[in-house]
Structure 1
Amino acid sequence: MPIILIPIVLFLLYMAQRRIFNRYWQRGLMAELSFDQEAVSEGDEASLTEVITNRNFIPLHILQVNFQTDVGLFFKDTTNASVTDRVNVIDVFSLRFYEKITRNLLMDCRKRGFYNILQTSLVASDLFSPDIHYADRKQSTSMYVYPRLMPTDKIDVPFQQLMGEVQSRRFLYEDNFTFRGIRDYAPTDQMSDINWKASAKTGAMKVNLHDYTSSPEIVLVLNVEEPGILFEIELIEDCIRITRTLALKFIQSGIPVSLLTNGKDKVTGEMIRLESGSSMDHNRNFCRALSRIDLTKETGDIEALVRDELHGGRNAQVVYCLISTSRRDGVVKASRELCDEKGKLVWICPLTKSMDMRAPDDSRISFVKIMHDSYL
Structure 2
Amino acid sequence: MQLTWLMISACILIGVLSLVYQRGAMRGLTYTRYFTKDAVFEGETVEMVEVISNAKWLPLPWLRLESSIQTGLRFGDQANLDIYSGDIYQNHISLFYLRPYRRIKRHHQVMCARRGLFRLDSATLTTGDPLGLISRVQKFPLHLELLVYPQILALQELPLPNHSWIGELAVQRWIVEDPFLTSGIREYRPGDAMGSINWKATARTGTMQVHKRDYTADHRLVICLNLEDSDTMWRNINDPERIELGIRYAATVADQALRSGIETGFICNGHLIDGARESVRISPSAAADQFGLLLTTLARLVLERTVSMPTMLEEVLSEEPVDTDYLLITCHQGEKLSKAADQLLRRGNGVEWMIIPEIEAVF
Q: TM-score, normalised by structure 1?
A: 0.74
- Give the structure 1 partner of residue 197 of structure 2: none
The 5-angstrom pairing of residues 284-363 of structure 1 reads 284-295=292-303, 297-314=304-321, 316-342=322-348, 344-352=350-358
* Kept after mapping to 2: 8 A contact 1:225/1:299: no
From 108, 112, 119, the counterpart of 1:116: 119
* Kept after mapping to 2: 8 A contact 1:258/1:275: yes
Q: Distance in 1 between matches of 2:51 and 2:118?
A: 19
Deviates more, 1:332-341 or 1:236-245: 332-341
* Kept after mapping to 1: 8 A contact 2:160/2:354: no
Evaluate the alpha carbon distance shift between residue 257 and residue 344 of structure 1 in structure 2; reply closer, same or farther with a 3 A threshold.
Answer: closer
Structure 1 residue 305: deviation in Å? Answer: 1.6
* Kept after mapping to 1: 8 A contact 2:82/2:92: yes
CA RMSD of aligned residues (A): 3.2
1:210-240 deviation per Cα after TM superposition (whole angstroms, max 9, x unaligned):
x99x853111111122457996432211111
The 5-angstrom pairing of residues 249-268 of structure 1 reads 249-268=256-275
The 5-angstrom pairing of residues 1-376 of structure 1 reads 4-77=4-77, 80-84=82-86, 85-155=88-158, 157=160, 160=165, 161-165=169-173, 216-227=219-230, 232-270=239-277, 271-295=279-303, 297-314=304-321, 316-342=322-348, 344-352=350-358
Q: Distance in 1 between matches of 2:281 and 2:100?
A: 52
Letter in 2 for 1:239: G
1:333-362 deviation per Cα after TM superposition (whole angstroms, max 9, x unaligned):
43333334335510100113xxxxxxxxxx
Letter in 1 for 2:315: D
Evaluate the alpha carbon distance shift between residue 51 and residue 326 of structure 1 in structure 2; reply closer, same or farther with a 3 A threshold.
Answer: farther
Deviates more, 1:144-153 or 1:240-249: 144-153
1:18-74 deviation per Cα after TM superposition (whole angstroms, max 9, x unaligned):
112112211121111111222222221222111111112222222122222222111
Structure 1 residue 133: deviation in Å? Answer: 2.3
* Kept after mapping to 1: 8 A contact 2:310/2:337: yes
Letter in 2 for 1:26: M
Percent identity over the alignment?
Answer: 23
Q: Distance in 1 between matches of 2:333 and 2:28?
A: 59
* Kept after mapping to 2: 8 A contact 1:319/1:342: no
Evaluate the alpha carbon distance shift between residue 135 and residue 339 of structure 1 in structure 2; reply closer, same or farther with a 3 A threshold.
Answer: same
* Kept after mapping to 2: 8 A contact 1:34/1:141: yes
Q: Distance in 2 between matches of 1:156 and 1:128?
A: 64
Evaluate the alpha carbon distance shift between residue 333 and residue 32 of structure 1 in structure 2; reply closer, same or farther with a 3 A threshold.
Answer: farther
- Give the structure 2 partner of residue 175 of structure 1: none
1:180-208 deviation per Cα after TM superposition (whole angstroms, max 9, x unaligned):
xxxxxxxxxxxxxxxxxxxxxxxxxxxxx
Q: TM-score, normalised by structure 2?
A: 0.76
Evaluate the alpha carbon distance shift between residue 70 and residue 280 of structure 1 in structure 2; reply closer, same or farther with a 3 A threshold.
Answer: farther
Deviates more, 1:73-82 or 1:155-164: 155-164
| Paired residue secondary structure (2:100) | coil
Letter in 1 for 2:309: I
Structure 1 residue 331: deviation in Å? Answer: 3.1
Q: Which has the higher contact order (CA 8 A, sep 6+)?
A: 2
Gaps of 5+ in 2: 176-182, 185-213
